Chain A
C-alpha cells in the first residue's frame, strides 16, 4: 500500500522533474549559442583550435553550430517533440565531450569554447578539461531524464496531445 502511494507520487512528480530538466537544457543551449553567434569567425577559430578538422571545415562547423544550438534551445523551451530534441541534444553533448577528451588526450592547451570563443590558452593558464567534461556530463544527465520521461508540463507536445 505504501509503495503504491510512493509510486503514485513519483508518477505525479516526474512531469515536473522533466519540466525542470527541459527548461534547464534549453537555457544551456540558448546561452551557448547566443554567446557565439555574434562572431562566427571566432567560433570557427574555436573549432579549429581542436585541430581535428581542416580550417575550411572548422569554419563551416563554427558558423553552423551556434545556430543549431539556439534552434535546439528554442525547441526545448517550447517543448516540441521533447524525446527527439533531447536525443539530438544528447548526441551533440556526446560529440562535445569526445572533442574535449581528445584535446585532453593529445595534451593540447585549449579552452573548450563551450560558452565562449575558445581558442588556445594564454601561457600560464592551464586547461580545465576535467571540469568541462563533468559539466557536459551533467547536461547529458538532463537530456537522459528527458529521453526516459519526455512528458513535461507547459509543453507544446502536451498541448497538441490534448493533455492538461
Chain B
C-alpha cells in the first residue's frame, strides 16, 4: 500500500467516524424528545381520565334528603355537643371503636347530650377483592337512613362485619340484613340499583378535604379526638370530652 493510499483510507475512516457520531447525536436528541413527549402525554391522559371520572361520578350523585352537614352525614340525637364520626364499614378498628364506645354514645344520645353525625366513608374499597364493599355498605346505609332506620342498620352491619380482604357481604346479604331491621322492597331496590353509591364518593371526598386520612376519625365540636398515642379514644375519654365540651 502506498502512502497516498494509506492517507485516503485514514481520511475515509475519519469521515465515517464523524458521520457515526453525528448519527448518534441525532438519535440521542430525537429519542430524548420522544421520551419527554410520551411523559407529558401520559400526564395529560391521567389528568383527563381523572377529570372525566369526577364528572361522571358527580352527575350520578343522588344526595339522601335526610343527610345533614351539606348532605354528607346522618344525624342521630339532638344534643348540644356535635360528635362527628367518620367510619368505614370495612374498617376493623372502627368495629373495635364501636364495640368499645357504642353503648356510651347511645347513652349520650338518650340523655340528649350529643348530636352524632355519622359520615360513612369508603376508603377501604380495595380491601374487598374488587367488590367495593365499603361503598356498597355505605350506599345501603344511606337508603336505610332515608327510611328512618340508619342506627339499626348501622348496628347490624357492624355486628356482621366481614373480614378485611374478603369479598365483603354480598348485595343479597345487605338486603337480608336490612329485612332483619324492618327494611323492605324499597330498600332492596336502592341496594340493587346502587342508588347512593356515587354519593358515597362525595362523602369520602369531603372527609379528605377536611384533612382526615384514617378511620375511625372522632371529632367533638369540630376538634379531632384521639388518645395520647393518636389512636381512637376509649369510651371513657369520649364521655369525658363530651362532658367537658358541654361545659
Contacts and interface: CB of A to CB of B under 8 A. Distances in A.
B91 interface: yes
B45 interface: yes
A29 to B, nearest CB: 11
A122 B93 contact: yes
A44 B41 CA distance: 20
Contacts of B213: 45, 48-49, 51, 110, 119-120
Nearest to B39: A71
Contact of A67 (B27, B32, B45, B123): B45
A80 B23 CA distance: 16
Instruction: Determine the main DSSP class of A at the interface with B.
Output: helix
Contact of B39 (A39, A49, A72, A119): A72
Nearest to B121: A45
A160 B2 CA distance: 37
Interface stretch (A19-27, A57-65, A94-102): A57-65
A68 B42 contact: yes
A63 B50 contact: yes
A122 B205 CA distance: 19
B71 interface: no
26 contacts: A40-B46, A40-B49, A41-B205, A45-B204, A49-B213, A51-B213, A55-B209, A60-B50, A64-B46, A67-B42, A68-B42, A71-B41, A80-B34, A80-B35, A81-B31, A81-B35, A120-B213, A120-B214, A122-B93, A122-B214, A123-B93, A123-B231, A123-B232, A156-B31, A160-B27, A161-B27
